[in-house]
């Protein structure tokens, strides 16, 4: 019987897990375990600026955009980071969605496990054949998306992994 090879992933961690710090330093660095995932997907995504913009925003409760990173303009590989900060969230949780090719799925699953197991806030990690959350996050027809009652409108922002 053939095994269904899942190629879509959902991860929920704190935004602080996107970066690391050197001992004795306040300067954030790229998380090497996330960078290994991006490298295996065929690109590099710099998340320190995203983290810094998030942490500098003192009014972030009830706000946050969806960042879609494409790799070589192919829909079979994508990383999405949803930075929406629920007003009751005290852990600064974010969602990371990943889609990869079947040929990369085993390596990506292994690397996600390494990243998630080292995350300071481990809420959720799953591997799926079809992630409705990922598909919803990449669906540009849904954006701009009104969020909550304060009038915030979530944007979908596109980037290219280099």
**pLDDT single digits (tens) 133-148:** 999 999 999 999 998 7
**pLDDT at residue number 107:** 95
Q: Pairing relation of β-strands 74-82 and 66-71?
A: antiparallel
**Domain map (residue ranges) of the chain:** 8-160
For the beta carbon of residue 100, count every other beta carbon within 10 angstroms. Answer: 25
- Statement: residue 1 has pLDDT above 60: no
For 26-42, what is the mean pLDDT?
94
Sign of the Cα pseudo-torsion (123, 126, 131, 137, in order): positive
What's the pLDDT tens digit per position in 60-88? 898 999 999 998 867 789 999 999 999 89
Whole-angstrom distance, CA of residue 137 vs CA of residue 39: 22
Whole-angstrom distance, CA of residue 6 vs CA of residue 101: 9
* Full-model pTM: 0.92
My answer on whether omega of the bond before 43 falls inside 30° of 0, hence cis, is: no
Identify the bridge partners of residue 69 per DSSP, sorted by sequence position.
79, 159
My answer on whether omega of the bond before 144 falls inside 30° of 0, hence cis, is: yes
Contact by Cβ (8 Å): 126, 9? yes
Contact by Cβ (8 Å): 156, 147? no
């Amino acid at each position: 019987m053939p095994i269904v090879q899942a190629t879509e992933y959902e991860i929920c961690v704190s935004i602080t897990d996107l970066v690391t710090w050197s001992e004795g330093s306040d300067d954030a660095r790229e998380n090497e375990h996330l960078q290994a995932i991006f490298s295996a997907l065929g690109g590099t995504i710099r998340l320190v600026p995203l983290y810094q913009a998030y942490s500098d925003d003192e009014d972030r409760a009830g706000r946050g955009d969806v960042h879609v990173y494409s790799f070589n303009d192919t829909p079979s590989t994508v990383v999405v980071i949803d930075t929406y900060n629920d007003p009751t969230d005290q852990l600064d949780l974010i969602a990371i969605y990943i889609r990869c090719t079947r040929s990369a799925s085993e390596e990506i699953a292994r690397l996600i496990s390494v990243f998630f197991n080292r995350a300071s806030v481990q809420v959720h990690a799953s591997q799926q054949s079809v992630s409705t959350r990922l598909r919803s996050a990449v669906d540009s027809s849904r954006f701009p998306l009104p969020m909550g009652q304060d009038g915030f409108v979530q944007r979908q922002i596109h980037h290219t992994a280099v």
